[in-house]
């Protein structure tokens, strides 16, 4: 597996694995609380990007972390930060919650 595959997952693949309960780690949502209130994934952990440096102790370094935001920009920053802090099993969810929700809603039809 190359580094792109290791550190990124497509919204379609993420949605499929989420729906089937096949995600082998935690989902870290780095959006703001207001965004979380509108829509979030069951089982996800909310730590807004700006709070992440002060809340690292809430995450287990050896657990896989799927990082999710609205459109995939903040999650890239969060994923890179986690990697710089010694987390090695970090996966950015490309295109964020907006794209994931499209696949989840399409699967629900």
User: Tell me: the pLDDT tens digits for 84-106?
Assistant: 999 999 999 999 999 999 999 98
Active site annotation includes 35: no
- Non-local CB neighbours of 7 within 8 Å, separated by 6+ positions: 79, 83, 90, 91, 92
Please tell me the predicted confidence (pLDDT) of residue 15.
97
Please tell me the predicted confidence (pLDDT) of residue 101.
96
pLDDT above 80 (res 27): yes
Please tell me the predicted confidence (pLDDT) of residue 108.
65
Please tell me the predicted confidence (pLDDT) of residue 106.
87
User: For the whole prediction, is pTM greater than 0.85?
Assistant: yes
Please tell me the predicted confidence (pLDDT) of residue 107.
67
Q: How confident is the model at residue 6 (pLDDT cuts 50, 70, 90)?
A: confident
Helix, strand, or coil (residue 63):
coil
Please tell me the predicted confidence (pLDDT) of residue 68.
97
Taking a C-beta distance cutoff of 8 angstroms, is the pair 65, 90 a contact? yes
Please tell me the predicted confidence (pLDDT) of residue 98.
96
Q: What is the DSSP letter of 89?
A: -
From 30, 49, 69, 79, active-site residue: 69
Q: How far apart are the first and last CA of the chain?
A: 33
- Non-local CB neighbours of 41 within 8 Å, separated by 6+ positions: 18, 27, 29, 68, 97, 100
> Domains in the chain, start-ordered, CATH in brackets?
3-108 (3.40.250.10)
């Amino acid at each position: 597996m190359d580094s792109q595959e290791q550190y990124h997952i497509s919204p379609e693949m993420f949605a499929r694995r989420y729906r089937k309960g096949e995600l082998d780690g935690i989902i870290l949502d780095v959006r703001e609380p207001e965004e979380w209130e509108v829509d979030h994934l069951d089982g996800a952990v909310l730590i807004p990007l700006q709070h992440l440096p002060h809340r690292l102790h809430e995450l287990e370094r050896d657990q896989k972390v799927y990082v999710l935001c609205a459109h995939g920009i903040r999650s890239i920053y969060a994923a890179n930060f986690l990697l710089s802090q010694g987390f090695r099993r970090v996966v950015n969810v490309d295109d964020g919650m907006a794209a994931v929700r499209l696949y989840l809603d399409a699967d629900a039809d």
